[in-house]
Chain A
């Protein structure tokens, strides 16, 4: 943690002098160049990033919208035929679109809610005087460093119907073997487990950082007022963490909307259908299936913009709720 470099700006404590440039007296030419540098210099600094940003960030985003109004096939991506809103109309008529949307929402809830609750608990455990805290923090990050592909492949093994470890443990407890992949809820539970495993520790670290930013005095004051540890948690910790909780909710929602690798590889041999009955096909997977299995790039673009629309609606809903809460408080 590089906290040693923070300097209070504006304090009289003198910064070390910068390396002096060659001591030639400043000519008029140099002065002009200097003024030019002050005016245009900032743009030179951001230019390398913004050239790439325009080419690979903004342009594709907008062009996806343009492509969604065309019939484009993967086999000839430069042949674009204008079809207006037909891709969107077909989407609304497609039961698999609604299925994917439903699955994205349910898997999103199944993975995000337990994940953030557990992360909060783990952050609470990690906060405080603790031996080996660095060890536990690095452990928390290990699943995050494991790729989606590697994680999903091992969970496929763990959730295997015939020889999986999970079913073996269930057998010991007297419960029958579960066909995790083929049931709707069981498969969504298993896919969510992968997401939860990968992201709980990461979110715990974010909560931990926020916990450490809460001033001790708040707890001391609460303790003086006779608040129990639970009351301290309710009335000091949770309110202080509210912005961070909102932040992690937003990030997790965005992550859940684009969920792709876990459902793709959870039943890898089934292609991109998300199970034999599409029972865990998410929007991200459905987009991939339309674009790169069925070769309809135009429709894939329409799905992408539908995803954007859903995120924007969710964002607007959050903003509305916050505005409403502020007014009623």
Chain B
């Protein structure tokens, strides 16, 4: 188990803090630069030396990005997609993770191996059939074409299984069984309460991953009904030559996740570290 931060190991010296300060600057600088560029005019960006402070054109650039790159629609779509994918993934992964952790059934280990094995398969191996499928049922540009495939999260099942193996006492499940509770009552009254912390973390991780999902959405969607990543790809592939507008789009598409990170960062960090130790 991970201990509370900062309680173990040697005390950090001045050099450690200096190195971490450099790390912080490097990690945050591209985002700061995005904001500086987004608030500048194109002419200001072309100056030598480059501008190291924010300019006055943020609202104008955001406005152009909003209308020209369909970013309002994109933000709304991505919120719907990431929210649905997070909720669905958490639900299905908790059910399956519980079964893999606590129930006995034939082919259990084989099926788990299959799920974990497909985690390692790149998305490139499924886009052609998915594309044919989406074309067949005329779902091009419809949000369900990016939501449904994203609900298949081997990571989610594995994450919930690893958590529930230790967090949910087997006797508790069996006691509920003996008392005559059927499957869904056990899930509702025993599994969900025990799994809640991990479900919350999985929801946040999935939301972030889904928000940033790239490869399949740029194939399944067009600029007419984009997600944020599709809209940013449209910006980057050059029908708007204005660098500061492109950066305004990038800023707008990243801000919601930075907000998520500021509010829930501590728990997301915990989830990633916990998954790493058990995985």
Enumerate chain A interface residues (CB-CB to B < 8 A): 1-3, 5-7, 9, 15, 17-21, 26, 30, 33-34, 37-38, 41-46, 48-50, 52-53, 55-61, 63-64, 67, 72, 74, 77-78, 122, 125-131, 133-134, 136-158, 162-163, 165, 168, 197, 201-202, 205-206, 208-213, 216, 244, 247, 250, 254, 257-258, 260-261, 264-265, 268-269, 271, 283-284, 287-288, 291-292, 297, 300-301, 303-305, 307-308, 311
- A–B complex contacts, Cβ < 8 Å, 8 sampled: A9-B170, A18-B172, A44-B183, A78-B136, A130-B20, A197-B26, A205-B273, A216-B8
Closest CB of chain B to A259's CB: distance in Å?
10
Contact B9 A128 (CB under 8 A): yes
| Given A37-B183, A42-B105, A254-B120, A153 contacting B246 (CB threshold 8 A) | yes
Closest CB of chain A to B208's CB: distance in Å?
6
| Given A128-B16, A261-B215, A284-B124, A150 contacting B115 (CB threshold 8 A) | no
Per the bound structure, the CA–CA distance linking A124 and B220 in Å amounts to 42
Set B5, B6, B46, B265: member contacting A163, Cβ < 8 A: B46
B110 located at the interface, meaning its Cβ lies under 8 Å from any Cβ of chain A in the complex = no
Set B128, B212, B253: member contacting A64, Cβ < 8 A: B128
Within 8 A of A (CB), among B222-279: 228-229, 232-233, 235-238, 243, 246-247, 249-251, 253-254, 257-258, 260-262, 265-270, 272-274, 276-277, 279
Chain A residues near B121 (CB, 8 Å)? 61, 308, 311
In the complex, what residue of chain B is closest to A53 when comparing beta carbons?
A: B152
Contact A1 B274 (CB under 8 A): yes
Interface size on B, residues (CB 8 A): 130
Contact A142 B258 (CB under 8 A): yes
Per the bound structure, the CA–CA distance linking A297 and B136 in Å amounts to 15
| Given A5-B167, A33-B182, A307-B122, A45 contacting B128 (CB threshold 8 A) | no
Chain A residues near B179 (CB, 8 Å)? 18, 20-21
Per the bound structure, the CA–CA distance linking A74 and B27 in Å amounts to 41
| Given A50-B96, A147-B212, A254-B122, A129 contacting B182 (CB threshold 8 A) | no
In the complex, what residue of chain A is closest to B241 when comparing beta carbons?
A: A269
Given contacts A3-B1, A61-B121, A216-B8, 8 further A-B contacts (CB under 8 A): A34-B180, A37-B182, A41-B103, A64-B128, A78-B132, A134-B5, A136-B24, A146-B257
Contact A1 B8 (CB under 8 A): no
Contact A125 B20 (CB under 8 A): yes
Contact B169 A149 (CB under 8 A): no
Among B177, B215, B262, the most chain A Cβ lie within 10 Å of the Cβ of: B215
| Given A122-B23, A139-B27, A18 contacting B189 (CB threshold 8 A) | yes
Closest CB of chain B to A276's CB: distance in Å?
14
Chain A residues near B251 (CB, 8 Å)? 150
Contact B247 A56 (CB under 8 A): no
Set A58, A125, A133: member contacting B118, Cβ < 8 A: A58
Chain A residues near B159 (CB, 8 Å)? none
Set A3, A52, A206, A303: member contacting B272, Cβ < 8 A: A206
Chain A residues near B16 (CB, 8 Å)? 125, 128, 130
| Given A139-B28, A258-B122, A308-B125, A134 contacting B266 (CB threshold 8 A) | yes
Closest CB of chain A to B12's CB: distance in Å?
4
Closest CB of chain A to B23's CB: distance in Å?
6
Contact A149 B233 (CB under 8 A): yes
Chain A residues near B93 (CB, 8 Å)? 49
Closest CB of chain B to A104's CB: distance in Å?
11
Contact A260 B214 (CB under 8 A): yes
Closest CB of chain B to A65's CB: distance in Å?
9
In the complex, what residue of chain A is closest to B250 when comparing beta carbons?
A: A150
Chain B residues near A133 (CB, 8 Å)? 5-6
Contact A128 B10 (CB under 8 A): yes
In the complex, what residue of chain A is closest to B233 when comparing beta carbons?
A: A149
Closest CB of chain A to B275's CB: distance in Å?
8
| Given A46-B95, A247-B279, A268 contacting B238 (CB threshold 8 A) | yes
B113 located at the interface, meaning its Cβ lies under 8 Å from any Cβ of chain A in the complex = no
Per the bound structure, the CA–CA distance linking A131 and B273 in Å amounts to 19
Contact B152 A52 (CB under 8 A): yes
| Given A122-B23, A142-B261, A292-B219, A202 contacting B272 (CB threshold 8 A) | yes
Set A7, A59, A128: member contacting B12, Cβ < 8 A: A128
Contact B269 A126 (CB under 8 A): no
B198 located at the interface, meaning its Cβ lies under 8 Å from any Cβ of chain A in the complex = yes
Chain A residues near B157 (CB, 8 Å)? 49
| Given A6-B166, A163-B46, A297 contacting B131 (CB threshold 8 A) | yes
Set B3, B105, B250: member contacting A153, Cβ < 8 A: B250
Set B31, B185, B269: member contacting A138, Cβ < 8 A: B269
Contact B33 A158 (CB under 8 A): yes
Among B30, B128, B277, the most chain A Cβ lie within 10 Å of the Cβ of: B128
Among A133, A137, A154, A287, the most chain B Cβ lie within 10 Å of the Cβ of: A154
Contact A52 B126 (CB under 8 A): no
Contact B3 A52 (CB under 8 A): no
